[in-house]
Structure 1
Amino acid sequence: MRKYILTSPRFTGEINVLYGLDGRLLFIDFLKCDLNEEQTDYFKSKLPAIFKDNFIEAFGNSKLSVVEEGYTVSFEQWWNRYNIKHNKARCIALWNKMSEADQVNAYFKMGNYERHLALNTWKNKADPDTYLRQRYWESEWK
């Protein structure tokens, strides 16, 4: 995972950008900054979908500052987002055995599983320990 924090004198706060191990853009967080609609559209259009060696080049001569930071997801973040409260002890044990990359993927790729369930309303959401043990985030949910 690659996490970047972008700041600039042209806006207050920071933009957080997360790229996956495969170099694909996973997440852009505008919640910690004060951007107008034009600035938001600018960033969305300039950020590459696939990480390049130096994505800052896409922004030209802007006064953008970029800091790379490690990214982690806590068990509590994942647990609260999954929102089925069964077998917590088992889930904690499984979570602690996972690599940081798997933890981040389990968190961010949960959206694919949730969209699949929304489209297939006859299916029930798996228990959280099943999601972790069977590595549901690696499935191609359609």
Structure 2
Amino acid sequence: MLKYILTSPKFTGSVTFGYDGGGFLVYFLNETEMTPVQKEWLLRKLPLGDGSLKEISKLIEGNLKEVPADLSFETFWDKYDKKINRKRTEPMWKKMSDAERMAAIMNIKPYDSYIQRTGIGKAHPENYLKKEYFNVEWHREK
């Protein structure tokens, strides 16, 4: 199954869509705070095929990202590559949404580049999650 997460400045939270190998919608999870009008619009425009998802993303000025196949804690732990305080970090991971997990994994590389540029030490993994460093646009930071 291919999963996509849609976010937008027009609503808080995220919407996750899952499509089978043929591109047909088989999974839908709305974790947003939308007005009733926004919810009604989304349900009327529900992208039954993965091709129409991109069109909806443009209409709402959204950000559409494919969810990496593996959002497990092990994937995060291996990619973050600072093996400290696993017992405190793993429960935090379990409380996160798929959108947050995806952001946490995908922003490790930009964060690593930032700390290389600045010489600042890398945060412990629990602080990376607790302080939501995965939500910082590290490529824009000096």
Closer/same/farther in 2, CA of residues 69 and 118 from structure 1, 3 Å limit: closer
Identity across matched positions, percent: 31
Q: Matches of residues 1-142 of structure 1 in structure 2 within 5 Å?
A: 3=2, 20-22=5-7, 52-53=54-55, 71-121=69-119, 123-141=120-138, 142=141
Deviation at 1:71, TM superposition (A): 4.7
> Secondary structure of the residue that 1:105 maps to in structure 2?
helix
Closer/same/farther in 2, CA of residues 119 and 69 from structure 1, 3 Å limit: closer
Higher helix share: 2
Normalising by structure 1, we get a TM-score of: 0.52
Closer/same/farther in 2, CA of residues 3 and 133 from structure 1, 3 Å limit: same
Normalising by structure 2, we get a TM-score of: 0.52
Q: Which runs of 5+ in 1 are unaligned?
A: 5-18, 24-50, 55-67
What CA deviation, in whole Å up to 9, does each residue of 1:46-103 have, x standing for no partner? Answer: xxxxx7238xxxxxxxxxxxxx989551000000011111110111110011011101
Deviation at 1:140, TM superposition (A): 2.2
Q: Which runs of 4+ in 1 moved over 6 A?
A: none
Q: Which runs of 5+ in 2 are unaligned?
A: 9-52, 57-65
Measure, in 2, the Cα distance between the counterparts of 1:130 and 1:104: 17
